[in-house]
Structure 1
């Protein structure tokens, strides 16, 4: 299934220059070099030429960029070739989602600096583990997950569904009822039932398509 993680990460230079200099950014090409670095061709756009100049200057001084080449440039757009360390987000995702030559890919950065990472996964177990790893290892709390046809499961719903499963709510017969689960999770029964049904429907829609 195709999964897109939407998240903010202050230490990523792509996100930083969008927020700091009010530019637009697009990743045109991404590949792993022979010495295990990340090579990217990045398009930087702004109606303000000074913003592009400031963004390029920031990148040229960025600690983890080893090579920066401005391929082309005019008043509103710059095309830049960058060689950098592999992104820690990339490294976490690839540990769960490698399928031949398919790599996790940052598709875009929006105006608020939020990044959209796309990866192909084969189970909700991996979806959940990536979310947990991003939170625990990189301290990223603002994460949402889009699965396939635009359906969205936020990390809170993933956590609740996982807890319900592990506590035996879906066992036959049930090991725990809705009211008891409600007390443990501190969520009103009606709200909890709705969260579980919506999250479960998203999982089933993907599994049974």
Structure 2
């Protein structure tokens, strides 16, 4: 794939028994991802969203954790993973070592407990925003988004409502209202 003209973002990973289902956002030439055999839905001019099923050790390990994003480039893949504590980090690193997978940690940041959104709310809100759920008119409906995320419509609706409430509450709190 020509990484100078195309980009791939991994938005979510789910373990489905003997393979993993990866929610991806592809930006670039449609013919490039079609060469890979991927069937993605167009959400804007050069932006596509969909799931791909793969059998890979890295994604299998990462599917156990909250992935904020992943991106592919000529030099490899980069992941932003949210972990609850250092014990979870240690457990994840042990899985990579036991699987003989070499990884490099670029940065560790301790999150503040006063964050407005949970990691899952932030992840879902970002995916919904990028997919065009909040556009007028909507580029993707809630049932389509739920299907892409492999979660129920009611679960997605609840996550979005709670996230929206948290953001709106924080907005007004900052202004003293």
Higher relative contact order (CA 8 A, sep 6+): 1
Normalization by structure 2: what TM-score? 0.45
Normalization by structure 1: what TM-score? 0.39
